[in-house]
Amino acid sequence: MKKTTANLVFYIVAATLSLLPRAGSAEPIPVIFDTDITGDVDDALALAMLHTLSDRGLCEIKAVTISKKNELAAPFVDALNTFYGRPDIPIGIDPEAPERDSKYLKVVTEKSGDKFRYPHDIGVSKEPELALDLLKKTLAAAKDKSVVIIQVGLATNIAQLLNDKEGMALIEQKVDHLSVMAGAFETIAGNNRYCEANIRNHVPSMQTLAEKWPVTVPVIWSGFEIGIAAPYPRKSIKGDFEMVDHHIIKEAYLLHTGPEHDRPTWDLTSVLYSIFPDRGYFDLSPPGRVEVRDDGSTRFRPAQGARDFPKNTDKMQAEKKRDRYLTMTAEQASRVQEALVQFVAKPPATFPTPKDAPVSFIFDTDMGNDVDDAMALAMIHALERRGACKLLAVTSTKDHEKSAAYIDALNTFYGNGDVPIGAVRNGVTPEYGKYLPLAENYPHDLKSGADAEDALVLLRKTLASQPDNSVSIAQVGFFTNLARLLDTEGDDISPLNGVELVKKKVKQLVIMAGAFQTIRYDNGYCEYNVFKDVPSAQHFTEKWPSPIIWSGFEIGISAAYPWESVMKDYDYITPHIIKESYLDYAPRKPHDRPTWDLTAVLHAVYPDRGYFTLSPRGRVTIEENGFSTFTPSRKPGVGRDRYLVMNKIKAAKVREALVQLTSEPPKK
């Protein structure tokens, strides 16, 4: 892939745009990030994640304070903030903090010519502030009970704040809660007195925190066991940071961890909870009190009556219920891991969209019949901004003139108004779609499908223009366009007929169609995309020459899109075409909508990320009533067709990926 260099121009533009106000229903959460960003790379990943959340208008990084001593720590934080478009964030250090070597901070010293590869001012033209002074100044300027402190290192800075009379008063007045990555609340590797590093490396300061932190301000502990249950996958490091020649997160990770290791996400889990405390990523223990022993181990004492929480809340003594710790099921761990990947791997908001991508993509849709088509297309635009795919064309199999117009409006909303659009001729479902009228409320040039290029012509032109064996197609509507494509003859676009053209150019086809499990006790379920145009489906399955992956009806209903995301994640701009479309199509409250079409796109772009399991190879046939039948091959490894399979653990992961990608804002 051809990469774009992250240079100073990007940083200046990023810094300017990051200061612009963003629309939204809630104010961003003010965050102080207290970190020992020297030893482990999870601190760097957590700070990158905070920048993504800040880009979404969910939080505002007010200050970063450092609890380990290393001359490169503050310059590295400044370089990372600058990389993400925020060189203005104040940084504080404690000159008396314990010293720590680092494997990765040295990237901040590397140069390209006579300039730093990762620009920064601290350590060059200015120095960091004192951590205690910065903490007090930041809290004093904040609204009451508004600030979240995320402490993911030693407690030295927080202990100083607690031992300062003014600091203690500011905590009580200004802080909403403290999120701490420290301790262990489960047995670790057979050790039920495990001494976690953030405590072990400076026991006195953590004891000060545990003993002196005000009882009126909650403390949420993310223990050692949480981070190891949701490690950051090496596949993401390998594939998700290629939008620039040098990415500070990828370089730091590889220097610290290497390319063959999934790294625990200790510090990232504290960030995730603090920004999304009500999204169900974690469960919470009953209230109680954390005790830090002299050897560095932790003990949690549940408050009296806490086992009946919240029933007996009034009976509990306030001073004994300040603390709770995070717990997590296997399904939650799968979901948390995916959320962390999506937040960390997202490019800075102002980076340009990469020109090249590993997946060249055609999206064939019945846009207007269900809202999952619109959400799938929004997701494709997010994947393109991340450099994961290149959208070559969109073709519609819904024979209504406003289907193509809506596609153009959605593409324009996401900054891709020039994507070619093709419309079916003499297709099915000519009725008006519930959300298609919204096209008139958003800018677009293509007013009618009659003005769009014939879908068959566009498909032939697009395939003919691409390298051999390079194109991925996601068909999430009817089989009309692709079945007809197979019957086309050679022409001035290409001397190849349709079958030959597909065989030469198409690398993979992923289809949302059929049902390969029992649906509502029905072993003969006829899925919509099949039975609305059975002749095309039958013709297609008989003649298609390249491998096919089928995402059946059962997959989309197992990973439904959460209503909560629709109501909360799209308010960075008002109105929002996806939120309005969802509400127009599915106004029932609350209503989680199946993600049929989104799952096909996810597998087409990320076939090797483990989102799904694949069935054995075989052959799909379509009966006259629209029922799809899969017959396994008698020979292992032989057969054109496979279908997606998903258990509950994978479903949690898939659902989270779909939420984060679909709700990702357009580039600024």
Residue 8 reports pLDDT greater than 70: no
Q: What is the pLDDT of residues 80-124, one digit of tens each?
A: 999 999 999 999 999 999 999 999 999 999 998 999 999 999 999
CB-based burial, 551-579: b 16+ in 10 Å, e otherwise: bbbbbbbbbbbbbebbebbbbbeeebbbb
- Please compute the mean of the pLDDT values over residues 573-588 and round it to a whole number: 93
Contact 323, 309 (CB under 8 A): no
197 near 297, Cβ under 8 Å?
no
What is the mean pLDDT of the segment spanning 379-408? 97
User: How many CB atoms within 10 Å of residue 454?
Assistant: 15
pLDDT beyond 80 at 313 = no
pLDDT at 292: 98
Q: What percent of the chain has pLDDT over 90?
A: 89
What confidence score (pLDDT) does residue 311 get?
Answer: 54
User: Tell me, what's the pLDDT at 305?
Assistant: 64
For residue 317, what pLDDT is reported? 61
Which residue has tokens 């996601």?
474
Domains of the chain, each with CATH number or no CATH: 24-345 (3.90.245.10), 360-662 (3.90.245.10)
Contact 128, 74 (CB under 8 A): yes
pLDDT at 353: 87
Helix or strand run (H / E) with residue 117: none
Confidence check: pLDDT of 1 > 80: no
Overall average pLDDT of the 136-142 stretch = 98
CA distances from 44 to 73, 375, 539, 665 (A): 11, 31, 53, 23
State the Cα torsion 16-19-23-28 to the nearest 10°: 140
pLDDT in the model for residue 12 = 32
Place of tokens 């964030």: 89
Question: Is pLDDT of 212 > 50?
Answer: yes
What pTM was computed for the model? 0.92
Ranking 290-299, 314-323, 493-502, 617-626 by mean pLDDT, the lowest is 314-323
Confidence of residue 26 (pLDDT cuts 50, 70, 90): confident
> What sign does the CA torsion over 504, 510, 511, 514 have?
positive
